[in-house]
Amino acid sequence: MFAGEVDLNNWYKPKIDKKILKDLSKRSDAKGIVDISIFCIALLFSGYLCFISWGTWWSIPALLLYGNIFYCKIISVHHETNHETYFKSRRLNKLFYEITSFLGGFESVRWKWSHFHHHTYTIFTHKETYDYENNSPRPTEPIRFFLNFLPLGPLLNIQKVMHFTHFEIIKHSLGIISAVVKTTVPENEIKKVVNMSRIYVLLWLLVVAISIYLQSWLPVIMIILPPFFGNTILMICAMTQHAGLADNIKDHRKSTRTVIMNPFFSFLYSHMEYHIEHHIFPKIPCHNLKKFHKEVKNQMPKPYKNLFQAYRSIIPAILKQSKDKDYFIDVEVPDVNN
């Protein structure tokens, strides 16, 4: 199977008119350029706030604003360009995939393969099909789940810290190959993972050198460190995807969750809140997922109306799973045959 292809044989698929599906699958350079332009304006504005407030207490809220805008949107664009749906142009998708991979600390070769593995085996837990992108096996201590939402929280999770993407890149640069790479990356691509990781480390060192030259840590803080302190919005959105749901089942309606989000979060998250729909047809561009959702909603579980409603379901499930590893939320799906 080649990168970009997702083996979804035997997975549940809703019924939809082929012409409608074809129209919804059309990509657009214009929509991608508008989206990335708005993001750059927001990033410049929040970055300017960091610059003018540096050295005062106001720099803390400024950095949190900048970091959350930076990290959430960078990762969502990284995700969409990986699927080659953010732009119509393959070159633009490739260019922005490489840029966002570096800025997000998600080494591009590793994530090209591991993410398509995630789509092929969503929340599978067996050795050969293990889904490394999810919190499997289920958490035994709920505190580790809640740490994900705090600025610097992932660094406080001792068992997870060495699996943080930046540390994984450092290990790969030293030739220490992680389990996720051994499982998901073809053997002839592993050398590329190592070489690309070394490029990332060299670029990080260059940013550090620039900071030392300028006698300011702002370049390091604003280019390398946002994933460590700007994680809150991304985690609030991303943890709704699969948390508490069934594993080892070929029906995304049972293992994945759609949540209606406010416009600000939806923009930063690139509309990935329509996550069931994204998993069923990963080649539909993010800007068309809402339209696709409306076309198949009678065949889908009822979406959560907002984040509050979603977490009212997720948090009790996480607490129950800490005591019963076999517990999961049994999602009711429509009987479309009636």
Match 């260059």 to its residue by tokens: 206
What does the alpha-carbon distance between residue 279 and residue 287 come to, in Å, rounded to a whole number?
A: 15
Match 């699996």 to its residue by tokens: 163
> How wide is the angle at C-alpha 286 spanned by C-alphas 238 and 124, nearest 5°?
45
Of 220, 206, 104, 211, the residue nearest 165 (C-alpha): 104
CA atoms within 13 A on the CB side of 291: 12
Inter-residue contact 85 to 115 (CB < 8 Å): no
pLDDT value for 26: 95
Run of H or E including 98: helix 90-104
Q: Name the DSSP class of 273.
A: T
Buried/exposed code over 86-97 (b: 16+ C-beta within 10 A; e: otherwise):
bbbeeebbeebb
pLDDT value for 150: 83
> How many residues are present in the chain?
338
Strands of the chain (E only): list them. none
The DSSP line for 9-44 is TTS------HHHHHHHT---HHHHHHHHHHHHHHHH
Q: What is the pTM of this model?
A: 0.90
Q: What residues are paired with 259 via a beta bridge?
A: 304
The tens place of each residue's pLDDT in the chain, 338 residues long, gives: 334 444 556 788 999 999 999 999 999 999 999 999 999 999 999 999 999 999 999 999 999 999 999 999 999 999 999 999 999 999 999 999 999 999 999 999 999 999 988 888 888 888 778 877 775 445 556 777 788 888 887 777 645 544 468 889 999 999 999 988 999 999 999 999 999 999 999 999 999 999 999 999 999 999 999 999 999 999 999 999 998 898 888 899 999 999 999 999 999 999 999 999 999 999 999 999 999 999 999 999 999 999 999 999 999 999 998 888 889 999 988 876 54
Q: Name the DSSP class of 258.
A: B
In this structure, what is the dihedral angle of CA atoms 14, 20, 22, 23, given to the nearest 10 degrees? -140
